[in-house]
Structures are given as structure tokens and as C-alpha cells.
Chains A and B, each alone.
Chain A
Amino acid sequence: MNFVTRSVFELQETTLIATRAIAGLFRRPRYISEAINQMDVIGVGSLTIILLTGFFTGGVLTLQTFPTLQFYGAQSQTGRLVAISLVRELGPVLCALMVTGRVGSAIAAELGSMTVSQQIDAMRALGTDPIKKLVAPRLLALVVTLPLLTVVADVVGIGGGGIAATTLYGLSINEFVTSVRDGISSSDIIGGVIKPICFALIISSIACYKGLSTDGGTVGVGRATTRAVVTASIVVIITDFFLARALQYILGVQN
């Protein structure tokens, strides 16, 4: 199979898995406790890295942009710049990438190990649909927790930017907060939540597909994990561009 054929085939299989998982959410039996457990593993488990990533990204944004803004006499707009950058782009994308690295790899490795040790076949033989039992709860957990993690990263990032602006450059906190409030609109916030929902679907379906299609023993598990992280990261970044353009069009966010 050449690269194009394989890519189209994988796209088809990934989409099918996602569709069947979403359909499975509405049919009995529902694995609610499994989904809650996954939300704990994925959401609460990722909180530390998201807090650190958000805080220091906000801080470094201030660090890098304040001198330029000061050159134009616009240092009071630092909060606006940090907030817009984080809410519109960096928050959703960085969160998605961090979660891909931490959660996407774990999902692919777990499902991959289960596949090579015939646990998935055993599950099917015992009358359980692995898409409903394994994929649907992970997909739901990611769709619920990734937007929440993104909001947390946005807030902490703005906080980090504020702390950097006040402590390093002596900007008053009121000035920073006022420019943040002036800068972000409801459209930014809506767009900033729609994006992680789309990214969650992408990460979960790619990681689950790569895990379930693992072959070649333990080496295959490693390969599947790497491919899941690489593919999901690239697809997230490419999708981000088109989503940004679509959201600009739909929500009318231009400036």
C-alpha cells in the first residue's frame, strides 16, 4: 500500500472508530463508571502539566512581547496580547499537544498491549464491543476534560503573564487586568472552547485507532505509540489552521 492509499485508509478507519464510538455512547450498555474513571486519569492526571505549561507560557509571552510593545509605547496592552494569544491559540493548541503526549501515548500503548496479547479478541469473544467499552469512554472523557483543561491553562497563563509583567517590568496589575478584559471577547472564549472539543475528538480517535490496529508484538506497541503521538500532533496543528479560519468566518473574529 503506498503512502496516499494508506493515509486514506487510515483516515477512513479512524473516522469509522470515532463514529461508532459516538453512536455507542447512546446505546446500552453504557460504561459510565469507565468514562468517569478515564476523566479522572485524563483530566485530573493531566492537571499538573497543564498548570505548569499554561503558567510559564503566559509568563514567557509577557517576557518576549513587553519590550516590543514598550518600544511602541503600548506596554499597557501587554495583558490584551497575552490573553488573546492564549485564549485563541496557545491555550487550545499547547493543551492538545501536551495531552497528546501524555494521554494519547498512554491510550495507544494500553490498547496496543491489549491487542497484541489478544485481550481485545477475548473481549469480543466474551460478547463485549471494544469500541463501546474502551474507545467511547476515552473519547467522552477527552471531549469533556480537554476544554476544561484548556480553560484552566488560559486562566493560569494569563495569571503567569500578569505576574511576569508586574514583577519583571513593573506594570501595575490593574493595568494588566483591564487590558485583558478589553482584549478578549465572548467570541474568543467560544472559539477557545470549540477548538479543544475538536482536538479531543482527533486525539482520542487517532490514539484508539493506532492502539487497536497494533501488530508485531511489543515492538509494534512502541511503534503504534510513536505513530499515535506524531500523527495526532500533526493533525492537531493542521486542523488548528483551518479551524481558526472557520471560526473567524463563523464567529466574525477578525481583529
Chain B
Amino acid sequence: MVSSEQIHSSQPLPGEVSKNAAGSTFAEVDDTHRIVPAIEFQDVLLAFDDRVVLNRLSFKVMKGETKIILGGSGGGKSTIIKLVLGLLKPDEGRVLVDGEDITDYDERQMMSVRKKIGMVFQEGALFDSLSVYDNVAYRLHEQGLPEDEVEPEVRRMLRFVNLEDAIDKMPSELSGGMRRRVGIARALIGDPKIVLFDEPTAGLDPPTARTICELAMKLRDLEDVSSIFVTHEMNNLDYLCSEYAVVNEEGQVVFEVEGERLCLTNSKVMMMRDGNVIFSGTDERIRKAEDPYIKKFLRGH
């Protein structure tokens, strides 16, 4: 395993992350602050008219953990993300973000909570009228930061997603995968400690989907980011639960497969069906599950 000294002594390279990257993941395990879950749902019930979308849902996402939420369309996966962001309010139950009960927060109170959270939307949801630079810089511009502080940050984030060359382009000039990556860069500006991914690889070719998953792994393993990764694609599960990002001796970010050296414990899987959690645990356990729906979902037939 790479020591934190080696990581800190390495030169920053394209694709590398913030200054405190990497060291945190292994060093902060005993920190009492980490006992507080990054996201917690307590008995959350949500219904639209007569249709129950989330049925008494309870789960936790711990600090530095990635919760992969699997399930078919209409199972309530994206609704969870909207509840975390306060875009929807639960009918019953509580939603806690970083230990703060946000259930009864009004729109103005939610604005300060949302500043801690990065959100990657399904299609990128880039602002059409703004360039890639302005899209990524959006949060910083809104905070009124001077341009000489904004530009290095935007360039750092675009380097992280390998899109620095596209800085002056408009969203309409980008491919689907590039739009998602700009969406990730926009979500990560300001270094949020919670990142929500809403089907970020849907409709992308396998190599691009792999790139998106690698970005999520880099955030998890090198940036100590807690995240919810909503998906219905099984290769996402394979990547996120069996590989991890480390910085090698040359200072480059590489991905290694878990095995004898390390077993990943910071990725958990939850499966939803019709608003109910039908599985919660590790990827090893879900692969051995006997539930016919889960078996069919994993095999695809």
C-alpha cells in the first residue's frame, strides 16, 4: 500500500486532486467526527397522490463511503437524491445531512446546506447559455469570488475530469460523455464533502462510463468524499465495488483491483424496488442473494 508520505511528496499532475488528497482516507479512521453519518434517512415516507414512492426508508451513508443505489426505473432511486437536496420534502420521517436535520428547512435554509453538496445530474444539466468555464465557475461566481481566484479553481476541476481543453466551448458543442464530465467538474467546485450521482453513466459508451466511475472512485478514495451513486448499470457496480484509486510512486493516480492486499469496505450497495429496500449490504452479498428479482437484475435476464 502507498504511504501518505509518498503521496504528499509526489508532484501534482494533470488529473490529480486537491492538496489534502489521499492522506485523509487512511489517516482519519479514528476521528470521532466520522461517527456522524454524512447522510441519514430515518423512516422516510413519500407518496405522490396514492402512489407510495418511498416506503419507510431508513439508511445511512457514512463519511467517505459510497452508497450505490440499484434498481429499475421508477423504483424511487432519484427521489432519494432529491430528498437529500431538499428539492422534495418527505411526508413523514427525517432526513439528516452531516448530522443536521434538514427535513423542515425552508428554501433559504436549504441553500446553505446545498453548498456542502455536489450533484451530478443524469444528462449533465449544464446551463445552455453559459460556456463550460462559466458552468463550472457558476457556484464561485454566485459567491462573488474575484475572477483571479475563480479561474485556477475552474482549471483544476476541469483537469480533474480531463477536459481543460474544452474550457471555452459551449455545452451544445460537447458530446454526452463530455457533458457529464463538465457536470462532475461543476458539482465538485468548492470541494463538497458529499456528492450525489444520478445515473451519471446512463446512455454512455462503456469506456466513457468507466471514466465516470473512475472519477467517482478518485473522489471516494483520494478526496474522502461521501457519495450516493444511483445507477441501474451493473458495470458501475463492478468498478465501484472491486477497484480503488491510489497514487503510485510516480505520483500518478492508478486503479487497483481489491484482493489480498485490500478489501474495499467503503462501498455499500442498496437495492430498491417500488419504494422498498430489498437489499442492503456489500457487493459480495448481493451477488449471492437468493431473491429472484435481484438475481434477474444482476444477470439481466
Complex interface bits, A118-137 against B, C-beta within 8 A gives 1, otherwise 0:
11011111111100000000
Minimum Cβ distance to chain B for residue A9 (Å) = 14
Q: Which residues of A contact B125 (CB under 8 A)?
A: 117-119, 121-122
Specify which chain B residues have a CB less than 8 angstroms from the CB of A121 in the assembled complex: 82, 85, 87, 119, 121, 125
Asked whether, in the complex, the Cβ of B127 is within 8 Å of the Cβ of A119, the reply is yes
**Interface band, chain B:** 20 to 34
Q: What does the 1/0 interface line of B108-126 toward A look like (CB < 8 Å)?
A: 1001101101010111011
A127 vs B110: C-alpha distance in the bound complex, in angstroms? Answer: 8
Question: Taking the complex as formed, is B107 at the interface, i.e. its CB lies under 8 A from any CB of chain A?
Answer: yes
The 8 A CB mask of A127-155 against B (1 = contact, 0 = none) is 11100000000000000000000000000
| Cross-chain contact B114 with A118 (CB below 8 angstroms) | no
Contacts of A45 in B (CB 8 A): none
Q: Is the CB of A125 within 8 A of B87?
A: yes
Q: Are the C-beta atoms of B142 and A118 separated by less than 8 Å?
A: no
* A122 near B121: Cβ-Cβ < 8 Å: yes
> Do A126 and B122 have beta carbons less than 8 Å apart?
no
B292 interface residue (CB < 8 Å to A): no
Interface residues on A, range: 10 to 19
Question: Does the CB pair B107–A129 fall under 8 Å?
Answer: yes
Judged by a CB distance under 8 angstroms, whether B186 is at the interface is: yes
Bound complex: CA of A127 vs CA of B82, how far in Å? 14
Known: A29-B144, A119-B128. A126 touches B121 (CB 8 A): no
Decide if B123 touches A117 in the complex (CB within 8 Å).
yes
**Interface contact A126-B128, CB-CB below 8 Å:** no
Q: Tell me how many residue pairs across A and B have CB atoms closer than 8 Å.
A: 57
The CA of A122 and the CA of B117, in the complex, are separated in Å by: 11
Do A128 and B142 have beta carbons less than 8 Å apart?
A: yes
Contact A126 B87 (CB under 8 A): no
Q: How far is the CA of A22 from the CA of B301 in the complex (A)?
A: 55
Question: Among A117, A118, A122, A128, which residue has the most Cβ atoms of chain B within 10 A?
Answer: A122
B123 contacts which chain A residues (CB < 8 A)?
A: 117-118
Q: Which residues on A sit within 8 Å (CB–CB) of B119?
A: 121-122, 125-126
For residue A128, which residue of chain B has the nearest CB?
Answer: B142
In the complex, which of the residues B85, B138, B187 contacts A124, with contact meaning CB atoms closer than 8 Å?
B85
Among A117, A119, A125, the residue within 8 A (CB) of B114 is A125
| Cβ < 8 Å to A, chain B residues 87-114 | 87, 107-108, 111-112, 114
Report the minimal beta-carbon distance from A31 to chain B, rounded to whole angstroms: 10
Among A29, A113, A117, max chain B CB count under 10 A is at A117
Q: Does B139 contact A (CB under 8 A)?
A: yes
Contact A126 B144 (CB under 8 A): no
Known A119-B125, A119-B127, A121-B125: A126·B138 in contact at CB below 8 Å: yes
Q: Does the CB pair B127–A118 fall under 8 Å?
A: no
Q: Nearest Cβ in chain A — how far from B73, in angstroms?
A: 15
Once the chains bind, are B115 and A118 in contact (CB under 8 Å)?
A: no
A126→B139 contact, CB < 8 A: yes
Q: Which of A29, A118, A123 contacts B122 (CB 8 A)?
A: A118
> A127 near B139 (CB under 8 angstroms)?
yes
Please report the C-alpha to C-alpha distance between residue A119 and residue B128 in the assembled complex, in whole angstroms: 9
CB neighbours (8 Å) of B144 from chain A are: 29
Contact status A126-B85, CB under 8 Å? no
| Residues A29 and B142 in contact in the complex (CB < 8 Å), given A118-B125, A125-B114 | yes
Which residue of B85, B87, B111, B127 is within 8 Å of A129 (Cβ)?
B111
B-contacting residues of A (Cβ < 8 Å)?
Answer: 29, 113-114, 117-119, 121-129
Given A119-B128, A124-B85, 10 further pairs, Cβ under 8 A: A121-B82, A122-B119, A122-B126, A123-B127, A124-B114, A125-B119, A127-B111, A127-B139, A128-B111, A128-B138
Report 9 cross-chain contacts, Cβ distance below 8 Å, ordered by A residue.
A117-B123, A117-B125, A119-B127, A123-B127, A124-B87, A126-B119, A128-B111, A128-B138, A129-B111
Residues of B participating in the A interface, judged by any CB pair closer than 8 Å: 82, 85, 87, 107-108, 111-112, 114-115, 117, 119, 121-123, 125-128, 138-139, 142, 144, 186-187
